[in-house]
Amino acid sequence: MNIKKHFTVKSNWQVWRILISESDYLIVESRNKDTKEVSFHSYELKTGNTIFENFQLNEKYYVGIETVYKDILYFHKYPKPDLPNHKGITAFDIGSSEMLWDNDEYSFLFAHDEKLYCFKQGFDERYFYTVDYKTGKILEDMGNDYRKVNSLRMVAEQQSKFDDYTFPKLDFDDSEIKPLVLENLGNLEVYGNIEYATYNNLLMFNYHLQEGKDLYTNYFRVINLENYNLLIEEVLNNKASSLFTDSFFIYKDYLILLKEKDSLNIYKLEM
């Protein structure tokens, strides 16, 4: 198996969230806490081509992504800056980079069977509705039947597809992997947890070494398990004041690395 650099995403702000749509659009949310702004970016995983960059809504900061469903991004706002509750739904088509619809009355619950389930908050209970995922048109008034809504939410969660993802592990119960990682590290004094994942004949892991007082550098390695050759070694975070987790994951045959909080390196894993 070969591994090669596919493309790099560089943001001016801190990467806050990474999503991948049904058609393999990579979506990145980045935030600037100083200027209180959030922007959104999308790239085609297959080609690395930019779909859009630095997209912002009218509300520049107190907004976020609820979900991506069938290549449509659904955003939410907050009723007040200091409240965590979500309010409103804004639908944005990734492929066309067009706003589809906006509704400030409803709050998002989940997506299922080409419908969005949402609610209005009453005085002491919620009232539930379904809307068309493309148009926002109301399809059904479900009243306050939360039992039915909760049952449908469970079905939707069970149908969520994560088979294409490989996320790193922290435990080393796998007796075949632990000695390989430790042997590769040699006498290095590692701080914190080692995260690792395997993909076909590749072993990937990241670890931290101390760099001066209270500073740590996060390293990432890829090893070929057939000949134990080191294929990649990258510094993901240099001389940081904290230990980082969730620095990488695999989607289908793409390795995605989060680097220095503001960049992504995407590698293609080829047979």
* Matching residue, tokens 């107190």: 62
CATH class (in words) of the domain with range 11-162: mainly beta
Give the per-residue pLDDT at 161: 78
pTM score = 0.92
Could you tell me the CA-to-CA distances from 160 to 13, 74, 197, 223 in Å, in that order?
30, 17, 22, 31
Give the type of residue at 180.
Answer: L
Could you tell me the CA-to-CA distances from 67 to 77, 126, 236 in Å, in that order?
13, 21, 27
Could you tell me if 75 and 57 are in contact, meaning their C-beta atoms sit under 8 angstroms apart?
yes
Kindly report the backbone phi and psi dihedral angles of residue 11, in degrees, each rounded to the nearest multiple of 5, phi listed first: -110, 150
Structure tokens at 198: 């395997």
- Closest C-alpha to 241, from 211, 268, 219, 221: 211
* Strand-strand pairing, 216-224 and 202-210: antiparallel
Partners of 17 in beta bridges = 29
Give the per-residue pLDDT at 57: 93
- Closest C-alpha to 256, from 270, 268, 242: 268
**Domain definitions of the chain by residue range:** 11-162, 166-251
Instruction: Indicate the SS3 state at residue 176.
Output: coil
Q: How many CB atoms lie within 10 A of CB 188?
A: 11
Give the per-residue pLDDT at 95: 94
For each of the chain's 271 residues, which pLDDT tens digit applies? 789 999 999 998 999 999 999 999 999 999 999 999 999 999 999 999 999 999 999 999 899 999 999 999 999 998 777 777 888 999 999 999 999 999 999 999 999 999 999 999 888 889 999 999 999 999 999 999 999 999 999 999 888 778 899 999 887 776 688 899 989 999 999 999 999 999 999 999 999 999 888 899 999 999 999 999 999 999 999 999 988 888 999 999 999 999 999 999 999 998 7
